[in-house]
Amino acid sequence: MTDRPYLPCTEIIGFLADYLDGELPPDRRSEFDRHLAVCPSCVAYLESYKETIRMAKGSELPVEEVPEELIKAILAATR
């Protein structure tokens, strides 16, 4: 048992990217894990943050056929 204070949520959310990238020193990382073990709100934030990154990556426009006038304009501009 320990009675040392938990890191505040503001600290967890502020350094979430470093936490996910594995860039925190081990002792700090374990403090993050200790906070996450007791804070469902930060866990929800962390999970939705990860989903946000996946959604950004996965929201690509489809590759579409290029209008012929654009091809002609490019060829004209470059010849």
Partner 1 sequence: MNGLFVSRSIADNFVNIGRKTPAMNMTTQSDTLNAFETLVRTHTPVLLRVARRFMHSEEDARDALQDAYVSAFRSIDSFAANAQLSTWLHRIVINACLMKLRTQRRHPEEDIEKYLPRFLEDGHQAEPSVAWSESAETALQRTELCGLVRSCIAQLPDTYRIVLLLRDIEELSTDEVAQMLGVTPNAVKIRLHRGRQALRTLLDPHMRNVS
> Considering the rule CB under 8 A, would residue 53 count as an interface residue with partner 1?
yes
Which contiguous run of DSSP H or E holds residue 17?
helix 16-20
**At closest approach, how far in Å is the CB of 30 from partner 1?**
19
In the chain, what is the greatest distance between 2 CA atoms, to the nearest angstrom? 75
Site for partner 1 in 29-48 (CB under 8 A): 40-45, 47-48
H/E stretch holding 64 reads none
Size of the site for partner 1 (CB under 8 A): 41
- Residue matched to tokens 């091809």: 71
1 binds partner 1 (CB under 8 A): no
Is the CB of 3 or the CB of 21 nearer to partner 1? Answer: 21
Q: What is the phi-psi region of residue 61: left when phi exceeds 0, alpha when psi lies from -120 to 50, beta otherwise?
A: beta
Point out which residues bind partner 1 (CB under 8 A).
8-11, 13, 16-18, 40-45, 47-49, 51-66, 70-71, 73-75, 77-79
